[in-house]
Structure 1
Amino acid sequence: MKFELKGRRLNAIWSTVKFLLKSLFVIGLFVAVFSYAMFQGEFVSWFLFYSITTLVVLMLLYSLIPLGSFIVTRDTQEGAMPAGTELKVELTIRRKWLFPFLYLTVEDDMEDGLRKQMPPHASKMIFYPTMKKELQYTYVIPELKRGQYTLFGVHLSTSDMFGLFRKRKFIPITTDLLVYPNYHDIERWSAYEKNESESVLSSQEFVEDMTSIAGAREYVPGDKLTSIDWKVTARTNKLMTKEFEEYIGQNFLIVFNNQIPNDRFSTTDAYEKGIELATSIVMYAYKKDLQVGLWTLGKEKHLFDLDSGGDHQKKMVTHFSKIRPNLNTNFATNLYEVEEQIPAGVTMIFVSIELTDDLLSRMKILISRRIKVYFCLMNKKSQTDSWEKRRFEELRRIGAEAYLLSGGNLDEEVTTYEGD
């Protein structure tokens, strides 16, 4: 805090010194031209003196006139939107009085993460002399990436014709943008075929296998309306509700590995696809009114308890919008630290971009406890090695439902490891 105050004082002192030096330069120029005219005494010298005097007076007046009051509004249309959306930002600058600027530079200030997603200087505009009290311009961010961003405010700047006296003003106007990850409608995805090299899964089977219906029973007050079996109800003339397999029920827990081994493009791309997959399952659970929990394990652990409903779904999707991958953490260790909190009778869905020896050992322990495990390994393409393939095959042999996926929609079959 003390360093910030000292920095501000130094900047203020330096700005004052620069202003004084520029003023002395202008006055010195005026004195030099006046002396030249007095000694020369010709028409040309006096014409030069009066011309420069006029410019000097205008420059001094320009430096003394305040930039004035501006009212700035920013229209981003929406506060939350899916990744990949084109965002149009419209800035409107209203002047309370007509400041006589030679030019006015307007630049929208934002986080670097958002600025890197647009062409250079796309958020900057230069207005030239005009009598309009309202100035307006629009810039576009072509394809938003998942995340939470903040636009801080607008910088206004202008100067005289020689650039000696600059005027700057910052107008704070904060706008928060939430870009949530893409998700895919599981109900519409086509089934994978199974072959000897890879077992692949349809999006519908992936979730519905975990919520398979065992039968139906008579409706009792408190049962969910979404569980009513209308076909059996029509056949028996009694209100009947669906019963699910006892070992699964309607509870499943998504465990997301927030650790990545490196920051190469293929790795980070697989990480983003994993987020899309996990978000798709969350959205499916919301539509079907299923009980779902979420754990994201990295340097920080975020544990969402089993629940259903719109508020619960919103919290998890918002969390996926903000989350960033961690390096140099151990997912297996993090999982071990929270294993005691695994709810009874839950089906666990792991989404990870790597399968290590330690993680394979943890999967063996969970399966030995008769916990149903689904393991979704996101394909890193050339970053996948042959040892990971062996672990993956071992995971299947011990009873886990393991799937190698190249996309976040479970619709791209991966039949070979590129790391072989």
Structure 2
Amino acid sequence: MRQQRWGKAKVIGLVVVTYIFAKFQGGFSSWFLFYSSLVFLVYEMLAYFLMFSTLEVVREIDRNRLQDGDNVIVTIRLRRRIWFPLGWNVVVEPLPERLAGVYEPHRQLIFPWFKREVEFRYVIPNLPRGHYRLTNCIVSGGDFFGFFERRKVFALSQEFLVYPAYKELTHWALGDGSFSGNVHVAHRRSDDVAAVRGVREYHRGDRLSQIHWRASARGTGLKTKEFEHQAMNQAVFFLDVENASYRGQPAQTFEAAVKLTASLIAFANRNQYHYGLVYKQMERVSLSPAISHAHFLRVFDQLARVMPEGSEPFAKVIGREALEQPQGVTLIIVTPRVEKELISRLIALSQKGRRVQLFYVHAEHSLSEEQKRVLQLLSANKVTCTSIHLDTNEWMRIGGA
């Protein structure tokens, strides 16, 4: 503001001085200087008022879904509706809040000259999992001679999600064989009409013999038969997002829990098993078991956004949400803390005939005696337990990468 005020005073002073000089001195040269200063004044006025009145700023990102560790390329375009030499522009791109302490805001100096459109790109590298929003773009500009400088904030908004990275597991068994790489049935129920329990939307990869032609002929798209044995291969993942569960834990504990959940879901999706996701952060998120590419994206959208900010006890969430899951659905529990209330909840579910598997995420390389006794108690009550270290290279106990 101070620079603008003194810049205006300098320009006006230049005109006044040349006018006084021409009045007293007279002659062609004196009046030529005065009229030249008038031309200069007109240019400065036009440059001042046209700096942002015809300027449009457009921001684009190359992708709105990325994976942990990817780079995002941001493109900025400055467009003007007229040709006019407006000096220079400095574009400042503030970073999302989560990245503010990691990288510096991007700054770009531009000399547009007579160009009506100027474009530049920059990269935000090595993005961690999360939900990001790029907001306002700050553009400063001034004339060639440095007499004024203006600044304007353009309200823009672009969002993108960074999915968690996951391990490509080749085998995952629950212990009873009901959720492993192969489905074991006494005979081929898929060819048995009596085994059909309903219909669902056709998904890519379904066999031609599984299409329900009568339901498809009603004009609502292709339908696929759903058989009784398929209902057994369903799992609902309960991710612990309670803040108290991660208090005092290493920072990467929650990321390991999310990555583990993503790895198991990717395995289930690859093997055409129905899967769902439940957690309670600020709001309840409950995705019913399904299998499709759109469902896979919905689940991973939630895994990208989730943070350990829940206030409701995880055991209470399981006790309430498990009642809404049908019999035959395997309950997958992912947590870094196994306390008394959670133990009693899991044992009660197991005693009611529910299939429960617990994944205990821990930072210690070896479990303490108390932790081992807790897991043995759960195993004795038919809760399948697996301890998972933060080091993803040790996940060979679940499957192979």
With the shorter chain as reference, the TM-score category is: 0.7 to 0.9
User: What does residue 371 of structure 1 align with?
Assistant: 354
1:220 equivalenced with 2:188 (yes/no)? no
Q: Which residue of 2 aligns with 1:277?
A: 260
Shift of 1:108: 3.2
Relative to structure 1, the CA distance from residue 96 to residue 242 in structure 2 (aligned partners, 3 Å threshold; closer, same or farther) is closer
Contact residue 262 and residue 327 of structure 1 kept, 8 A: no
- Alignment partner, residue 205 of structure 1: 173
Q: CA deviation at 1:298?
A: 3.8
Instruction: Map residues 377-396 of structure 1 onto 2, 5 A cutoff.
Output: 377-381=360-364, 387-396=370-379
Alpha-carbon distance in structure 2 between the residues aligned to 1:61 and 1:95: 14
Deviation at 1:25, TM superposition (A): 4.8
Q: In structure 2, the residue corresponding to 1:336 is in which secondary structure?
A: helix
| 1:179 to partner: Cα distance | 1.8
Deviations 1:227-277 (A, max 9, x none): 999xxxxxxxxxxx99859xx822222111111337679544121121122
- After superposition, the C-alpha distances for 1:36-78 in whole angstroms (9 at most, x for unaligned) are 989xx9xxxx9xx98xx78984655643444342344434222
Which residue, 279, 290, 295 being the options, matches 1:312?
295
Query: Contact 2:281–2:306 (CA<8 Å) still a contact in 1?
Result: no
2: CA distance, partners of 1:265 / 1:77: 38
Residue 387 (structure 2) aligns with: 404
Q: Structure 2: which 5+ runs fail to align?
A: 200-204, 210-225
CA change 1:21–1:243 in 2 (3 A) is closer
> How has the CA–CA distance of structure 1 residues 30 and 116 changed in structure 2, closer, same or farther, with 3 Å as cutoff?
same
Q: Which amino acid aligns with 2:335?
A: S
Cα distance, 1:134–1:332 mapped onto 2, change above 3 Å: same
Which of residues 32, 54, 75 in structure 2 aligns to 1:69?
54
Alignment map for 1:293-312 (pairs within 5 Å): 293-312=276-295
Match of 1:159 in 2: 142
Task: Determine helix, strand or coil for the equivalent of 2:178.
Answer: helix
2:68 counterpart (77, 80, 83): 83
Local SS of the residue matching 2:337: coil
| 2:104 alignment partner AA | P
Deviation at 1:104, TM superposition (A): 0.6
Task: Tell me the alpha carbon deviations over residues 326-377 of structure 1, each in whole angstroms, 9 at most, x when there is no partner.
Answer: 1543111222233422321222110112112221221221222232221111
Is the alpha carbon distance of 1:381 and 1:138 closer, same or farther for their aligned partners in structure 2, counting shifts above 3 Å?
A: farther
Report the counterpart of residue 347 of structure 1 in structure 2: 330
Pairwise CA distance, 1:88: 1.7
Q: How does 1:87-102 map to 2 (within 5 A)?
A: 87-102=72-87
Structure 1 Cα separation of the partners of residues 6 and 311 of structure 2 = 53
RMSD: 4.4
Counterpart secondary structure, 2:161: strand
Using the size of structure 2 for normalisation, the TM-score is: 0.72
CA distance in 2, matches of 1:358, 1:308: 32
Q: Could you tell me how far apart the structure 2 residues matched to 1:318 and 1:129 are?
A: 40
Q: In structure 2, how many angstroms separate the alpha carbons of the residues matched to 1:334 and 1:286?
A: 25
Name whichever of 134-143 and 283-292 sits farther off.
283-292
Match of 1:130 among 90, 113, 116: 113
For 1:259, the equivalent position in structure 2 comes to 242
Change (3 A) 1:226 1:85: same
Change (3 A) 1:172 1:242: closer
* Secondary structure of residue in 2 paired with 1:126: strand
1: CA distance between counterparts of 2:112 and 2:208?
Answer: 69
Displacement of 1:83 = 1.8
In structure 1, how many angstroms separate the alpha carbons of the residues matched to 2:127 and 2:176? 32
In 2 relative to 1, CA 23–87 (structure 1 residues): closer, same or farther, beyond 3 Å? Answer: closer
Structure 1 SS opposite 2:187? strand
Do the aligned partners of 1:107 and 1:154 also contact (CA within 8 Å) in 2? yes
TM-score w.r.t. the length of structure 1 is: 0.70
CA distance 1:101–1:265, shift in 2 (3 Å) = farther
Q: Distance in 2 between matches of 1:323 and 1:314?
A: 14
**2: CA distance between counterparts of 1:55 and 1:22?**
19
Distance 2:192 2:308 in 1: 45
Whichever residue aligns with residue 214 of structure 1, its letter is V
Supply the AA of the counterpart residue of 2:238.
V
Could you tell me which amino acid in structure 2 is paired with residue 93 of structure 1?
L
Contact 2:4 2:147 in 1 (8 A): no
Shift of 1:290: 1.8
Q: Structure 1 171/252 Cα, relative in aligned 2: closer, same or farther at 3 Å?
A: same
Q: What is the deviation of 1:180?
A: 1.8
CA distance in structure 2 between the partners assigned to 1:133 and 1:298 by the alignment: 48
What does the per-residue CA deviation read over 1:127-173, in whole Å, with 9 as the maximum and x for residues that have no partner? 13634333222211111222222333533211246866332344444
Secondary structure of residue in 1 paired with 2:266: helix
Residue 125 of structure 2, aligned match among 142, 145, 170: 142
* Deviation at residue 126 of structure 1 after TM alignment: 0.6
- Which residue in 2 is equivalent to 1:356? 339
C-alpha offsets along residues 200-250 of structure 1, whole Å, 9 cap, x if unaligned?
xxx433599333513223513558986999xxxxxxxxxxx99859xx822
